[in-house]
Amino acid sequence: MKKTEIAVIGGGPAGLMAALAAAEMGARVTIMDRNSRLGGQLVKQTHMFFGSEKEYASVRGIDIGKVLSAEVLKNPRIETMLDSTVIGYYPDDGVLGVEVEEKTFVKIKPEKVIVATGASEKFLPFENNDLPGIYGAGAVQTLMNEHGVVPGENVLMVGAGNIGLIVSYQLMQAGVNVKAIIDAAPSIGGYWVHASKVARLGVPIMTSYTVKAAYPNELTGALERAVIWQVDDKWQPIPGTEKVLKVDVICISVGLSPLAEILWQAGCRMKYVPQLGGHVALRDENMETTVPGVYVAGDVAGVEEASSAMIEGRLAGLNAAKSLGYDNGKYDEKRREAMEQLQNLRSGPVGEKIRQGLAQLAL
Amino acid sequence: MRIVNHPILSFERGREVEFTFDGKKMKGYEGEPIAAALHDNGVRVLSYSKHLHRPRGFYCAIGNCSSCLMTVNGEPNVRVCTEKLREGMVVETQKGRGDIK
Ligand SMILES: Cc1cc2nc3c(=O)[nH]c(=O)nc-3n(C[C@H](O)[C@H](O)[C@H](O)COP(=O)(O)OP(=O)(O)OC[C@H]3O[C@@H](n4cnc5c(N)ncnc54)[C@H](O)[C@@H]3O)c2cc1C
Ligand code: FES
């Protein structure tokens, strides 16, 4: 069995920062990601980031990912395992089961675990929602921005939050036609900068609309048409308002929910918090869950954004290292700094929902 | 379809390789997900569901949802959104649960 001091599960912004912070304090870290590269969601994000100056606002997500990954890869205290999926955590003896390259099964016994697995996309119920051509927004981004293949010719985007707006813009950058962006809410959820960018390119953003049904091409069986309809202020569809759109792709962007299987397995106390996307683990201000030695950071700790994911990662890394007795003399200062940054990020009206969510989690 | 000119990104692709989909010869790049290569070749239906035989495509593209199971080199239930393309791979539409030979 392989041993390590701190295992970091997930190599997105949260995991990368956690690994760097723990190593800086002096701990030995093993970071694992099921992908063949580090970076998590950042790798697909071609737009300039929103967020605070300090956490790389106005830098493109892909570039932040590259910088952090390079730092992790050259750090002698961090071991990186790619193509490595953590498929189980056995709380009785604190062992992680890791499948490497879909071939070998490796057991790892860490002293501390930081779970930074991110989130997965939510789905939407409507008639024929299982047709080929109906894809998650993240899937479309992966196909397009990582693998350089376009998802189709004409797209209906469902969801006018930041992700829906940004992916619509990216689709157009790749030469794909976005027929409409719809959202069941009465107003646009994302930032105005993103909304006006797509609106300027002539894409209608239709609020108070949802998908009624999707229909296949008789020959291929894949999506050919979507029917949308309006909803009233009680979210009930209004018959007679149907519109037919000829699209070969419906892109679903209705939110994310934390990818928390490992936390359930570990026996962490979980709570359903809608403001944070679903079930999340209770934790203290050091990001430690109710299971001693198991920490959380990033979207799995509550769906938010990359800047806060990075700082939560740093906090978790610092604290996990400190609990093993590591301190390079800067622990107190760094911890205070990170906590202040989180508070700043979450202040003001934009952070209202997150603050409400987090208030339900504190230990 | 491949993106050729992108305002921000450039794509590092592996060497071009040949594979078959239900017996038809197709081309893709080594190391990319099988699903990406199929999509480029216009293939969006990857399997048929177990009970109602409904067509299935991919959904998450990162190995979370198992919507993209196909038979690859005779082995059923391979998630082709993450499985890497190799020279000479035999990729087949999966019908139902798939049989282990
Ligand atoms: C389209 C889009 C635009 C966005 N724009 C912005 C923006 O402008 N500004 C901003 O601040 N935020 C933005 N975000 C949000 C930001 O990307 C996320 O909040 C951030 O990536 C979360 O970081 P994370 O490390 O928690 O998770 P992720 O980046 O999702 O990383 C998690 C990693 O864990 C790995 N993993 C999961 N399970 C396992 C397992 N069992 N074993 C091994 N590895 C595993 C995954 O493969 C992944 O690499 C955007 C998101 C999207 C989708
Ligand atoms: S599309 Fe979700 S696992 Fe492949």
Rounded CA-CA distance A160/B83 in Å is 32
Q: Residue A175's closest CA among B9, B6, B12? A: B6
For chain B, domain boundaries: 16-95
Inter-helix orientation angle A13-25/A306-323, to 10°: 30
Dihedral over Cα of A348, A351, A353, A358: its sign: negative
Of B2, B63, B83, the CB nearest to A149: B2
Cβ-Cβ contacts under 8 Å for A304 (sequence gap 6 or more) = A276, A354
Ligand 2 atom nearest B59 alpha carbon: 1
Q: Residue A64 is inside which H or E element, if any?
A: helix A61-74
> How many angstroms separate the CA of residue B18 from the nearest CA in chain A?
17
What is the architecture of the domain spanning B16-95? Answer: Roll (3.10)
Query: What number is the average pLDDT over the span A86-112?
Result: 94
Contact B16, B28 (CB under 8 A): yes
Query: What number is the average pLDDT over the span B2-30?
Result: 91
What is the pLDDT at residue B12? 82
Ligand 2 atom nearest B82 alpha carbon: 4
Dihedral over Cα of B81, A203, A56, A305: its sign: negative
What is the pLDDT at residue A362? 81
User: Helices marked H in chain B — which ranges?
Assistant: 34-40
pLDDT digits (tens, 9 = 90+) for A151-203: 999 999 999 999 999 999 999 999 999 999 999 999 999 888 899 999 999 99
- Quote the percentage of chain B above a pLDDT of 70: 99
What is the pLDDT at residue A50? 63
Contact A305, A55 (CB under 8 A): no
In the predicted structure, residue B80 carries a pLDDT above the cut 60? yes
Compute the distance from residue A139 Cα to the ligand 2 centre, in Å.
9
Q: Residue A98 is inside which H or E element, if any?
A: strand A95-100
Task: Give me the count of residues in chain B.
Answer: 101
Query: What number is the average pLDDT over the span A7-14?
Result: 97
Q: Which CATH code fits A2-120+256-359?
A: 3.50.50.60
Q: What share of residues in chain A are helix, strand, coil (percent, to 5)?
A: 35, 30, 35
Q: Does A286 touch chain B (CB under 8 A)?
A: no
Dihedral over Cα of B31, B36, B41, B44: its sign: positive
In the predicted structure, residue A52 carries a pLDDT above the cut 70? no
pLDDT digits (tens, 9 = 90+) for A267-314: 999 999 999 999 999 999 999 999 999 999 999 999 998 999 999 999
Cβ atoms within 10 Å of B37's Cβ, excluding its own? 25
For chain A, domain boundaries: 2-120+256-359, 123-252
> How many angstroms separate the CA of residue B66 from the nearest CA in chain A?
12
Query: What number is the average pLDDT over the span A2-30?
Result: 97
Rounded CA-CA distance A260/A37 in Å is 21
Compute the distance from residue A10 Cα to the ligand 1 centre, in Å.
9
pLDDT digits (tens, 9 = 90+) for A206-248: 999 999 999 999 999 999 999 999 999 999 999 999 999 999 9
In the predicted structure, residue A87 carries a pLDDT above the cut 90? yes
Ligand 2 pocket residue status of B58, Cβ below 6 Å: yes
Same CATH topology for A2-120+256-359 and A123-252: the answer is yes
| DSSP for residue A272 | E
Which residues of chain A lie closer than 8 angstroms to B45, CB-CB?
A: 132, 220-222
What is the pLDDT at residue B101? 67
In the predicted structure, residue A77 carries a pLDDT above the cut 90? yes
**What tokens were used for A88?**
């189980």
Which residues of chain B lie closer than 8 angstroms to A133, CB-CB?
A: 44, 57
| DSSP for residue A146 | I
Ligand 2 pocket residue status of B68, Cβ below 6 Å: yes
pLDDT digits (tens, 9 = 90+) for A247-267: 999 999 999 999 999 999 999
SS3 per-residue string spanning A118-145: CEEECCCCCECCCCCCEEEHHHHHHHHH
Angle CA A140–A226–A229, to nearest 5: 115
Q: Residue B67's closest CA among B51, B75, B78? A: B78
Rounded CA-CA distance A248/A140 in Å is 13
Compute the distance from residue A323 Cα to the ligand 2 centre, in Å.
38
In the predicted structure, residue A55 carries a pLDDT above the cut 60? no
Q: Kindly determine whether residue A135 and residue B63, on different chains, have CB atoms separated by under 8 Å.
A: no
Global pTM? 0.90
Q: Does A172 touch chain B (CB under 8 A)?
A: no
- Map residue A152 onto helix, strand or coil: coil
Ligand 2 pocket residue status of B66, Cβ below 6 Å: yes
Residue having the nearest C-alpha atom to atom 16 of ligand 1: A306
In the predicted structure, residue B54 carries a pLDDT above the cut 70? yes
pLDDT digits (tens, 9 = 90+) for A24-51: 999 999 999 999 899 998 888 877 776 5
Compute the distance from residue A41 Cα to the ligand 1 centre, in Å.
4
Q: Which CATH class is domain A123-252?
A: alpha beta
What is the pLDDT at residue A103? 82
CA distances from A223 to A61, A151, A299, B63, B66 (A): 31, 12, 31, 22, 19
Q: Residue A142's closest CA among A44, A29, A69, A240? A: A44
Contact A166, A62 (CB under 8 A): no
| CA atoms within 13 Å, Cβ hemisphere of A1 | 11
Across all residues in chain B, what is the average pLDDT?
A: 92
pLDDT digits (tens, 9 = 90+) for A168-179: 999 999 999 999
Contact A338, A307 (CB under 8 A): no
- Quote the percentage of chain B above a pLDDT of 90: 74
pLDDT digits (tens, 9 = 90+) for B29-51: 999 999 999 999 999 999 999 99
Confidence of residue A54 (pLDDT cuts 50, 70, 90): low
- Map residue B42 onto helix, strand or coil: coil
